[in-house]
Every structure is written in C-alpha cells, then in structure tokens.
Structure 1
C-alpha cells in the first residue's frame, strides 16, 4: 500500500509569507516607535507561521511500517505497535475542535504528538479513519 501523507495547506503558507512581507513593510514605514514594535511582533509571528508551514512538510506520513511525524527538530518514525492513535474532541469557546493524538511509547521514552486541522491540512477525523484502516 502506498504511503499517505498530510501537511499544512500550501495556501496557508503562501498567505503567511505574503502577510509577513506586508507587515515587514508596514513595520519599516511605521509612523511611531510603538506601532513599529507591535508590527514587528506581528511580523515575527507571521514569519514563524510561514516558516513552520513551509519547512515541516509533510507533517504526518503513514505506511505499512508505521507513522512518521515531522517536527522542527526532525522526523520521528513511530512503529505501529508503539503508537496509539486517538481522536480527541474538545469544546472551547462554544466550538468543538477535533485533534489527532499520537501517543508513542518505547520502554521509558514516551511522547505525545497533538495534530490540529491546520497541521494536517484536513479534518483529523478523516485522517484517523485512514490511520485505523492502514494499521495492521
């Protein structure tokens, strides 16, 4: 079975880069110091989002051997027998949000990966269904 992968949508990365460029120009041309500080902070946040959406691709890959999760510190391969896949629904501010939790454990080492719709580029429920179908 061919590997499946999920990543942030390219449009999100492109929009973040464009907004960061606009914010940078506004920061440079800002009329007063307070405005430049606030715009500079917004620029830094947009640049971080753009870089994250661009360089951490694909965020999740699934194949017959297990899952591979890519983070800022590198990729981690999680064999199927060491990972629990769980769909979690949380209600906040009157809105229900689904996240995909990958609970990995190997001996004393353990790590929890929480993937949002933005990380996956799609609904986590759809990804969970595919992962449960791929799991041997």
Structure 2
C-alpha cells in the first residue's frame, strides 16, 4: 500500500510539471517507498518455528521458547473514532529481563485477535511473571 502511494505521488508530481510539486512529492515518496518495502520484507513479524516464537526485528530474528512467554493478549484501542486491534506479547529475554512487544495488523498481516487465538491453541498461554 505504501509503495503504491509513493509511486502515485511521484507520478502526480511529474504530471504537474512544477519543480516544487516534484520536490515535495519526491520527498514524500522517498519516505513511503522504503517504509513499504521494509514492511513487506518483515511481514509476518512473528511466527512459530519448532515450538518457539520467532520475532523478526531490524537486528535479526529472535527466538523465544514457549516457557519464556509471560503474556499474549489482544488489545483494543480507539483512535479518532475507529477501533484498532493490537497484539501484546510479553516475554523474558536471554538476560532475564521482561520485554514487551506490541504488534499491529500491518506487522502480522492479519487480525491480531486471530493470531492471539492461534498462539493460545499452540500453548503460548499467559502465565504469572517470575519474581
């Protein structure tokens, strides 16, 4: 979506044949197109591999064992009158620190509520946090 929007802005700027319009649409496209490519390459950002959660981050893929997952749940937020669903994932990292990741529909490629339901069926249920 972002790639198409960025390309559309470039075409619109070229059709106007005004230097300022081309500059502004070109700058917007320089932001939108790489962002769209990044989202395509990273989606889905989370998947189950050999019983572990694999989370794709900019620094690489991180694997989280089932027993290190503290909480998986769906969140609903309202913004500008529209309801948005998110997935909250809380887990312990290799150093024993609690980490929190929040995934949107854009990150997961599908409704976060469906992902939470599927993860719970696979045994990634919320558990009490370690003390």
What corresponds to 1:72 in structure 2?
58
Q: How many residues align?
A: 122
**Structure 2: runs of 5+ lacking an equivalent:** 125-131
The answer (yes or no) to whether the contact 2:44–2:109 under 8 Å persists in 1 is no
Normalization by structure 2: what TM-score? 0.75
Offset of residue 108 of structure 1: 4.3
- TM-fit CA distance, 1:116: 0.6
Q: Highest relative contact order (Cα 8 Å, sep 6+), 1 or 2?
A: 1
The runs of 4+ residues in structure 1 deviating greater than 6 Å are: none
2:106 to 82, 93, 118: 118
Q: What are the residue-to-residue correspondences of 1:18-33 with 2, within 5 Å?
A: 18-27=4-13, 31-33=17-19
Aligned pairs for 1:9-24 within 5 A:
15-24=1-10
The answer (yes or no) to whether the contact 1:23–1:43 under 8 Å persists in 2 is yes
In 1, the alpha carbon distance for the partners of 2:54 and 2:99 equals 13
Could you tell me how far apart the structure 2 residues matched to 1:129 and 1:43 are?
37
Q: 5+ residue gaps in structure 1? A: 1-14
Q: Which moved more, 1:34-43 or 1:104-113?
A: 104-113
